[in-house]
Amino acid sequence: MSTQKLDGAQALIKTLEDLGIEYIFGYSGGAAIPIFDALETVDTKIKFILVRHEQGATHMADGYARATGKPAAVLVTSGPGAGNTVTGLMTAQMDSVPMIIISGQQVTWMLGKDAFQEADIFGITVPVVKHNYLVKDTNDIVRVAREAYHIATTGRPGPVLIDVPKDVSSGEFTGSMDPELNLPGYDPFESFNIDHSSIEAARKLIAKSSRPVILAGQGAMIARADEELMKLATTLGCPVTTTLLGKGVFPETHDLSLGMLGMHGTAYANKAMVECDLLINVGSRFDDRIIGKPEKFCQDAPIIHIDIDPAEMGKMIHPDVQVIGDAKAALSLLNEALPSIETKDWRSTLNGYKKKYPLTYKKQGGLRMQQVIDEFYQQTNGSAIVTTDVGQHQMWAAQFYRNDESFHWLSSGGAGTMGYGFPAAIGAQFAHPDKTVIAFCGDGGFQMTLFELATAAIHKLPIKIVVLNNHYLGMVRQWQELFYENRESGVDLDGNPDFCKLAAAYGIPSVHFKRPADCQRKIEEALAYKDGPILIHAECVKYENVFPMIPAGAALEDMITEPPKTQMEKPIGST
Amino acid sequence: MKAIATTDQNPVVLPIRQSSNTLSILMNNTPGVLMRICQVFSRRAYNIDSLVVSEGRTAEYSRMTIDLSGDPSGLPQIIKQVNKLVDVIHCYKHTVQNTVVREMLLIKLLASKEERTTALQVVEHFGGKTVDMTPNSMIAMFTGSTEKLDAATLMLGQFDVVETIRTGKVVMARGNQPT
């Protein structure tokens, strides 16, 4: 520790660097000036990226974290600056993404007095973060930053916000740069202490099964349990389906893969759920999008639930065996002595379903989003990092861009945040400058965060920005068609800009196509361009629906694989 | 409300309380922790009947007792969510059998010279204390179980009660069990 005097902001930046933070995405403002100043006065390797809107900063940090497993930081000012991060925080919290958010704040003696750009961001963000802090003493700042990092990255990860009043950041720091953490109520290391009896109980259930299925979620990915999962699946001969966020933790091109399950999952994954005699859930929280009607979900099969978060046990589905802990630790233990079971018949049944209900789309009668996504998949050999917005294109991307590796599929699952895809791709591209990063955006979602075109252009990030434009909010339109007698309300995006001209305004080149025949050539052209971002404007057919589909709240056996002949009943389940 | 038939044909109405659940929480004594805990309940549309917070044995920690009525089926989930909060050391659910439960009641009533003696008899009957007295008013204080305080409130209701205030339940687990 040098004898040079530090202020709170400088101590904070030094601490973030010490913790391994590589990037800070942010937007400046009055209350955060001392912290921005520290970025100049402290000799640091941290790279600061100026964004165009605070929501963009949070999604960039989110994309960086999902592509690496490591957190980035977000730095914003007080009031509206911090307020604009709420959607990004919620997105990260719902999907267990680590993130450190630092918000400037009014001086401590003005708190609660409606001072300029003062907002109770601590109070506002309590429901959307894993934890948060309002620092009131400069000498607490290093301990708080270290605690925040520890909390964000251990156990079930999540965003942690630190609100730093201006007098705290500019006050003199005289504390220790390596203080003891004070977290008596937080012990994430418990999760590596797996209850052996629960593992034994799981083995007994496995030994009795002949039609098992593994459901792998993001918990398996966060724990980096890919190898253990592969060993479990291949030793047992057990098919694997993943959640939307689990895509890639088990290679989707593997013979045992059933792809994604759930509302728009593959028919064979959902049929496996209905017909299995054992479900092994590794790190999925049984989201309502995958269980449909809870009381009918896997009703004849016992369930083993492995999750790091005890609060997920029995929240949606009551498991027969609960294994609380880190997925990698739990699977390593389980794999030590796996029973030998015969699953050949079961696999052949499922292979039959794979042949009977393949994922398909038409290449005639106009360009379909599925074809664009499929073409990107073929031309990149499935090796790109893919981000999405939310809606129809997201589900088609999940179906047709198969992932063979963890940390390559970045999509807002729990929160379903439109506008996530493009900024998340920026974060991912910063994390992996040499990888191909594709942002699949809808015309709706893209327009929510398109201002980050400037950020992508300035840094010459070679992102493939794919705007899948059907001039509609397609998923809502699909629901209105199926369940609301085709009454379209608030879904026609009449007034969309010319996306290519828009890109050109930022100095970004583009390709445009609307005929299926041009798809291959234009995508080749776009992928060949490496000097910076390129926008691919794919004008697609307006009326196309995502199938298979399980209406919200319906049982998995009520899945439809093609357009229904009659009007469907309104879903009674979650939205 | 349940009516008890009495000999004079005028039923006395006693309040019937729904069975309640009592949670005891040990937590960091930091600003905002109360909000974090309340948010777990309000997000799930649970109504808190009473809530008592005070400093723990050392100033770093606080103690909280929460009393809830309503559907207990969601409670195990709520307890886990409370336990998950970084600021919470532990959250336990207690039953009447394994705990000592106490509440305090302050009741202010108007009592003239003629009424005062009768009022004092009632206070004494329930083991209460008079903590303030003026020529036409008094404040009585009672401690005890919720039911006892209900009964004292009912009896003093015969007088001109102007204000009542209750602390809400505090609990402590019996024997070696932690609270």
Same-domain pairing of B161 and B140: yes
Strands in A119-236 per DSSP E: 131-134, 159-165, 172-173, 212-216
- Report the predicted TM-score, pTM, of the whole model to 2 decimal places: 0.94
Same-domain pairing of B104 and B75: no
Whether residue B130 lies inside any domain: the answer is yes
Residue B30 corresponds to which tokens in the numbers above? 């930091």
Query: Do B80 and A310 lie within an 8 Å CB cutoff?
Result: yes
Query: Do A126 and B36 lie within an 8 Å CB cutoff?
Result: yes
pLDDT tens readout for residues A376-392: 999 999 999 999 999 99
DSSP string, A466-530: EEEE-SB-HHHHHHHHHHSTT---S-B-TT---HHHHHHHTT--EEEE-SGGGHHHHHHHHHH--
Dihedral angle computed from the Cα positions of residues B142, B148, B152 and B153, in that order, rounded to the nearest 10 degrees? 100
Residue B84: Cβ within 10 Å count:
18
pLDDT given at position B19: 73
- Contact, B106 vs B131, CB < 8 A? yes
* DSSP β-bridge partners for residue B4: B12
pLDDT tens readout for residues A126-183: 999 999 999 999 999 999 999 999 999 999 999 999 999 999 999 999 999 999 999 9
Whether residue B12 lies inside any domain: the answer is no
Same-domain pairing of B114 and B152: yes
Last residue of a domain, one of B74, B94, B114: B94
Same-domain pairing of B111 and B155: yes
Residue A530 corresponds to which tokens in the numbers above? 């490496």
What does the alpha-carbon distance between residue A209 and residue A231 come to, in Å, rounded to a whole number? 18
Q: What length does chain B have?
A: 179
- Contact, A539 vs A510, CB < 8 A? no
What's the whole-number mean pLDDT along residues A331-339? 97
> Is residue A501 very low, low, confident or very high in pLDDT (cuts 50, 70, 90)?
very high
Residue B122: give its domain's CATH number: 3.30.70.1150
Structural domain boundaries, residue B76: 21-94
Same-domain pairing of B90 and B116: no
Answer whether residue A449 shows pLDDT above 80.
yes
Q: Which of A350, A371, A347 is nearest to A360 (CA)?
A: A371
Q: Is A358 exposed, middle or buried (0-12, 13-18, 19+ CB in 10 A)?
A: exposed
A113: three-class secondary structure by DSSP: coil
A482: three-class secondary structure by DSSP: helix
Same-domain pairing of B117 and B151: yes
Residue at token pair 């705007």: A467
What's the whole-number mean pLDDT along residues B116-121? 95
What does the alpha-carbon distance between residue B84 and residue A310 come to, in Å, rounded to a whole number? 8
Residue A108: Cβ within 10 Å count:
15
Same-domain pairing of B35 and B76: yes
Same-domain pairing of B48 and B79: yes
pLDDT given at position A571: 79
- Contact, A272 vs A289, CB < 8 A? no
Q: Which of B25, B86, B90, B91 should be substituted to probe chain A, the one whose Cβ sees the most A Cβ atoms within 10 Å?
A: B86
In chain B, residues with a C-beta closer than 8 Å to the C-beta of A134 are: 31-32
pLDDT tens readout for residues A522-558: 999 999 999 999 999 999 999 999 999 998 888 888 8
Same-domain pairing of B60 and B90: yes
Question: How far B50 CA lies from chain A's nearest CA (Å)?
Answer: 22
- Contact, A504 vs A537, CB < 8 A? no
Contacts of A125 (CB under 8 A, 6+ apart): A82, A85, A86, A89, A132, A161
Query: Do A130 and B43 lie within an 8 Å CB cutoff?
Result: no
Residue of A nearest to B78 (CA): A311
Residue B38: give its domain's CATH number: 3.30.70.260
Q: What residues in chain B have their Cβ under 8 A from chain A's Cβ atoms?
A: 27-28, 31-32, 35-36, 39, 43, 76-77, 80-81, 83-90
Whether residue B6 lies inside any domain: the answer is no
In chain A, residues with a C-beta closer than 8 Å to the C-beta of B90 are: 185
Residue B81: Cβ within 10 Å count:
22
Whether residue B167 lies inside any domain: the answer is yes
Residue at token pair 């981000």: A387
* β A385-388/A321-324 pair status: unpaired
What's the whole-number mean pLDDT along residues B45-59? 91
pLDDT tens readout for residues A233-289: 999 999 999 999 999 999 999 999 999 999 999 999 999 999 999 999 999 999 999
In chain B, residues with a C-beta closer than 8 Å to the C-beta of A151 are: 86
Q: What is the count of structural domains for chain B?
A: 2
Strands in A210-277 per DSSP E: 212-216, 240-242, 257-260
What does the alpha-carbon distance between residue A247 and residue A147 come to, in Å, rounded to a whole number? 31
- Contact, A144 vs A135, CB < 8 A? yes
> Is residue B6 very low, low, confident or very high in pLDDT (cuts 50, 70, 90)?
low
Last residue of a domain, one of B94, B111, B130: B94
Same-domain pairing of B60 and B29: yes
pLDDT given at position B11: 61
Residue of A nearest to B41 (CA): A127
Same-domain pairing of B89 and B140: no
Residue A340: Cβ within 10 Å count:
9
Whether residue B165 lies inside any domain: the answer is yes
Residue B97: Cβ within 10 Å count:
6
Whether residue B29 lies inside any domain: the answer is yes
Whether residue B11 lies inside any domain: the answer is no
In chain B, residues with a C-beta closer than 8 Å to the C-beta of A309 are: 84
Whether residue B3 lies inside any domain: the answer is no
> Is residue B2 very low, low, confident or very high in pLDDT (cuts 50, 70, 90)?
low
How many contacts (CB atoms, under 8 Å) link A and B?
A: 41
In chain A, residues with a C-beta closer than 8 Å to the C-beta of B87 are: 131, 185
Answer whether residue B1 shows pLDDT above 80.
no
Query: Do B88 and A315 lie within an 8 Å CB cutoff?
Result: no
Q: Which of A6, A15, A8, A7 is nearest to A46 (CA)?
A: A15
Last residue of a domain, one of B69, B94, B119: B94
Answer whether residue A2 shows pLDDT above 60.
no
Same-domain pairing of B108 and B84: no
Residue B27 corresponds to which tokens in the numbers above? 């937590």
* Phi, psi values for residue A271, rounded to 5°: -65, -35
pLDDT tens readout for residues A29-40: 999 999 999 999
Query: Do B86 and A311 lie within an 8 Å CB cutoff?
Result: no
> Is residue A3 very low, low, confident or very high in pLDDT (cuts 50, 70, 90)?
low
